[in-house]
Amino acid sequence: MRDYDRIFVDGVWDTPSSDTKLTVRSPATLEIVGQCPQANETDVHRAVRAARRAFDEGAWSRLPMSERAHHLRALAAAIEARGALLDKLVPLESGIPRMFSSGSSSVPLLHYYADLGDASDIEEVRAGRPGASGPAIIRRCPAGVVAALTPWNGPVMQILMKLAPALMAGCSVVVKVAPETPLAAHELMQAVAETLPFPGVVNLLAGGADIGATLVRHPDVDRVSFTGSTKAGAEIAAACGHDLRRVNLELGGKSAGILLPDADLDTALPTLTTFGLFFNGEACSALTRVLVPAARHDEVVERIVAIVRSLPVGDPSDPSTFLGPLISERQRDIVEGYIAIGRDEGAKVATGGGRPEGITTGWFLEPTVLIDVDNSMRVAREEAFGPLLCVIPYDDVDDAVRIANDSPLGLAGGVFGPEDEATAVARRLRTGHVGINCQGQDWCFPFGGFRRSGIGREMGAEGLELYQELQCIGFPEGSRPATTRS
């Protein structure tokens, strides 16, 4: 049982503004596994005030990149030292199996941004048009105070994906974590407290949509970085639009995994199925629409069903478990609701659809495969966010591309088959990421969505640029301006 009674604001573990606590239950056992203060509006103001002061008056935003990189590496070491505890907490509070998400496995992300920042210049001199203007310094300034809002499906990784580039850019950050998974976040802040002697540069709030909404509307926040549902993303975009606040949104997906007619089923199907159901299906990039050639439909379904039935379901802390419980009763209700919707629309359950036998507690659901799905059905168009695959037959490759692109969402995708052919198909997909015979995501690569899957790209060098504003300092002709690294 982890019991945190303070909030991390302005570089110290301080008394929260109210006695209200968030109680965290393991979604596998439903036992209470921890508690922490539930932030309220006053705490939001305290955290933003601290971040604002740190940014405007503190040293962090003015440090050379190399020094910020040094501190990021120290933070990585402190998180790594807590690796065993984080590896326990992540499956415990999120139900995401250890096989897919741990605390320590995200630490290299800090090193990636430390190295990237260290190697990049924040200023360059650009020549003006001859006879018209002198040179200019193009400067990448830190974006300011960042509100980083994260979901529960990767309690460490989701935070570090925002924190590492934002810190490297010189921003100060208020992290708002989902109420379901605040425990690992508190351990991360212990590491921050030990290694970053810059009060207010990182602050943590744990709570729900209400304080999230207060945070994204706060006049002292310069950029909102949000990962979560498309519905919440649209509300946040509207609020930020009103104030012209910068915002990047990483939202939901209903991604297609296309099995090409010549695909080798022995290699393709285990990978496709894994990336349809990984993270309990609670992964934004899950390949939940499985597009199969109509001529091979029955054979493919038989094999997918066999694979799905063989997946170990159970304790998310057990390294051999593939599927753990869903995050909450509400989330299981939503996914079960989509199975019912699919049936009503004419789809059939090929396997699953119920609760796993022999498991009496926890928000478990059998991995489920729906067949006879048409792409116009709600179950094929809306994100269920659970272990639910929809098999959709296609006539030819043009038809597969049409079906894949016919979606309100456009986050990810996969193409399985001969590499050249699969790559040609990938280039026709209107989606932010495509894996060829693999999942293919990495934090060196930009990630984000087309259409209603989001705005902007996290990760990679593009992820650092998110947290920078461009400034241009122009000079008269004949000047020779010098650049600086801070």
Lookup result for tokens 């990767």: 154
**What DSSP assignment string belongs to 278-322?**
GGGG--TT---EEEEEGGGHHHHHHHHHHHHHTS-BS-TTSTT-S
Strand 172-177 relative to strand 202-206: parallel, antiparallel, unpaired?
Answer: parallel
Shortest gap between Cβ of 246 and ligand NAD (angstroms)?
Answer: 16
Chain residues that interact with ligand NAD, rule: CB under 6 A? 149-153, 176, 178, 208-209, 212-213, 216, 227-229, 232, 235-236, 250-253, 284, 383, 385, 411, 454
Of 434, 386, 428, 383, nearest in space to 409 by CA: 383
What does the alpha-carbon distance between residue 167 and residue 176 come to, in Å, rounded to a whole number? Answer: 16
**Among this protein's residues, is 250 annotated catalytic?**
yes
Q: Which residues contact 403 (CB under 8 A, 6 or more apart)?
A: 256, 289, 291, 375, 392, 394
DSSP state for residue 481 in the 8-state scheme: P
What letters, b where the CB count within 10 A reaches 16 and e where it falls short, cover 393-413? bbeebeebbebbbebebbbbb
What does the alpha-carbon distance between residue 33 and residue 93 come to, in Å, rounded to a whole number? Answer: 7
Angle separating helix axes 183-195 and 83-94, nearest 10 degrees: 150
Residue (170 or 463) nearer to ligand NAD, CB = 463
Residue (40 or 227) nearer to ligand NAD, CB = 227
- The single residue of 36, 240, 284, 390 carrying the catalytic annotation is 284
Strand 123-126 relative to strand 136-142: parallel, antiparallel, unpaired?
Answer: antiparallel
Shortest gap between Cβ of 454 and ligand NAD (angstroms)?
Answer: 6
Residue (13 or 450) nearer to ligand NAD, CB = 450
Residue (68 or 176) nearer to ligand NAD, CB = 176
Residue (16 or 293) nearer to ligand NAD, CB = 16
**Among this protein's residues, is 284 annotated catalytic?**
yes
Shortest gap between Cβ of 468 and ligand NAD (angstroms)?
Answer: 20
Pair 253, 383: CB distance under 8 Å? yes
Residue (192 or 412) nearer to ligand NAD, CB = 412
Distance of CA 133 to the CA centre of its chain: 44
Pair 425, 258: CB distance under 8 Å? yes
Alpha helices in 30-156 (DSSP H): 41-57, 65-81, 83-94, 108-119
- The single residue of 250, 282, 458, 465 carrying the catalytic annotation is 250
What does the alpha-carbon distance between residue 386 and residue 482 come to, in Å, rounded to a whole number? Answer: 54
Shortest gap between Cβ of 462 and ligand NAD (angstroms)?
Answer: 13
Shortest gap between Cβ of 143 and ligand NAD (angstroms)?
Answer: 19
Shortest gap between Cβ of 416 and ligand NAD (angstroms)?
Answer: 22
**C-beta nearest to ligand NAD: residue:** 212
Residue (65 or 326) nearer to ligand NAD, CB = 326
The catalytic residues are 250, 284
